[in-house]
Amino acid sequence: MKRIHKKIFLGNIFCILTVLTADVKEKMEDDFLRVNDNIQNEEHHDELQALREKFNLERTQIQKYYNEKIEALKEAQRGEIKAIKKDFAGHREILMKKYPGKMRRKPPIENTETVKNVPDKKKVPPKDKKRIRKP
């Protein structure tokens, strides 16, 4: 019993050490426009900062433009699908009128009183024995 506890404890320690020593990569946004804080020239630093802000502004404008296009395309798709559904519903109605037929009826439910020796599935007690598997 003590051996099992020791093995479990050592396994847990190894798992925890693995998680703690794993390197976590941080996501760097706009890595190619990263401004180095060690730059001594203020003009250079300011121009890099302005370039980064301009890039972010243009990127957000492009994202907005394409999101608007995507929404317009989604609305057009929904409209086309609704039109197709109406068209096919009309075709379905024409076919139903063209081929009138009797609707199928479900067979009547048998009277349980006439059939005896058939156990009710809901009232059958569960089996207590395990099924023996044969090789």
Does some domain include residue 90? Answer: yes
Q: What is the mean pLDDT of residues 63-70?
A: 97
SS3 state at 1 = coil
**DSSP assignment, residue 26?**
P
Average pLDDT over the chain, rounded to an integer: 80
Does some domain include residue 78? Answer: yes
The whole-angstrom distance between residue 31's C-alpha and the CA centroid of its chain comes to: 30
Does some domain include residue 60? Answer: yes
Does some domain include residue 121? Answer: no
Does some domain include residue 75? Answer: yes
Tally of domains within the chain: 1
Does some domain include residue 3? Answer: no
pLDDT at 129 over 90: no
Report the C-alpha gap between 36 and 85 in whole angstroms. 58
pLDDT in tens, 5-60: 888 888 888 778 787 777 666 555 556 666 677 777 888 888 888 998 999 999 99
pLDDT in tens, 91-101: 999 988 888 87
Does some domain include residue 95? Answer: yes
Range(s) of the domain holding residue 72: 51-101
Report the C-alpha gap between 61 and 56 in whole angstroms. 9
